[in-house]
Amino acid sequence: MANTTITVQDSTGVVLSEATVSYLVNAVKVEGTTDTNGELTIAGLEAGTYTFTAALSGYTSASVEVVVTEDVDSTGTISLTATITSTIVSAVATAAASTLAEKIAAMKVKLNAKIAASHSWAKLGYLVLSALLDTGSEWALNYVASKIK
């Protein structure tokens, strides 16, 4: 009898262990779990076409169709896409934006104190730096910080 081996990997090709792989045999759902090599090997499937579906927490489920031929080993690869990546990136971006906004607000307080205590030409320079801060960029924050001691 031949073996059918299903490999489960992520979208970058890294194998995923502990993924649940399910398929139907005579209308009965059968499940197995991938090993440390990201593989599930099934011995003795009857000839036919099978749809294997892999699922793993943190990933979108996916399927592959494999044609099993009598006495011939067959393989299939399922690539899962991580679902948490966009959530993490969004959270990091939000935290960074919040931190940048807080830093700019603190720099504006320092700058406003300089503007209040300055005379005409110096005041004009500080007003320009203040307008630069209003762009909200990290570069502007760093530049203004280098000019305000």
What domain range includes position 51?
3-82
Cα–Cα distance measured from residue 21 to residue 148, given in angstroms and rounded to the nearest whole number: 61
76 in the same domain as 93: no
78 in the same domain as 120: no
Cα–Cα distance measured from residue 39 to residue 29, given in angstroms and rounded to the nearest whole number: 19
Instruction: Tell me how many domains the chain contains.
Output: 2
pLDDT at 136: 73
**Whether the predicted pLDDT of 119 surpasses 90:** no
134 in the same domain as 77: no
Q: What is the CATH number of the domain that holds 65?
A: 2.60.40.1120
Query: How many Cβ atoms sit within 10 Å of the Cβ of residue 85?
Result: 12
For 27-70, what is each residue's pLDDT tens digit? Answer: 899 999 999 999 999 999 999 999 999 999 888 999 999 999 99
> Where among 82, 98, 129 does a domain terminate?
82
> Where among 43, 65, 82 does a domain terminate?
82
